[in-house]
Amino acid sequence: MTLTIGERSPRVQIIKKNFRNNSLLNLFVDGGYMSGGAGYVLSREAVRRLIERGLNKQRCRNDSGGDEDLEMGRCLERVNVKPKNSRDEHDRGRFFPFNITYHMSPGHMSRTTDWYPQHTHNNDGDLLNCCSDTAIAFHYVKPIEMYQFEFLLYGLRMHVNRFSNVMQI
């Protein structure tokens, strides 16, 4: 997240937007709202506005009803917090509403029955082109998958035999 936010002004309010502006998500909130499953990144100023101008002044819904991401979008709009595009310099997403297997699967963007391809900012690639090298979050990650990712990222040590072109694990 530091790479994502670090390149932006400290006054930027919300960093997360993979959805296109002409999607159904715009019917409820000007400029669209973010699917909340993978989470949000809010600046300190955005959190201040959300609490002080939104929740404390009853300008935002303050109960457990409604769809969380839609209500968050409505509330942030009311307190003048604008969504910013979180895609990287290659236009690849950083927040994903499904698990990594879905987003890496060949042909996932051609599934017309899924809501995601119809509302995303652009067509995500398949396999290794699906996601930013600086991806932040995937939704629907099972607990066992968290352990697998931790092992692959931090536990696995690869060894390259200098006398062979074959990588050994």
85 or 90, which is more confident?
A: 90
**Global pTM value:** 0.68
Angstrom distance (rounded) from CA 80 to CA 85: 16
Angstrom distance (rounded) from CA 107 to CA 103: 9
Q: How confident is the model at residue 23 (pLDDT cuts 50, 70, 90)?
A: very low
> What is the torsional sign of CA 106, 108, 113, 117?
negative
Which residues have a Cβ under 8 Å from the Cβ of 78 and sit 6 or more positions away? 53, 54, 59, 60
Per-residue pLDDT for 125 more than 80?
Answer: no
The β-bridge relationship of strands 159-160 and 167-168 is antiparallel
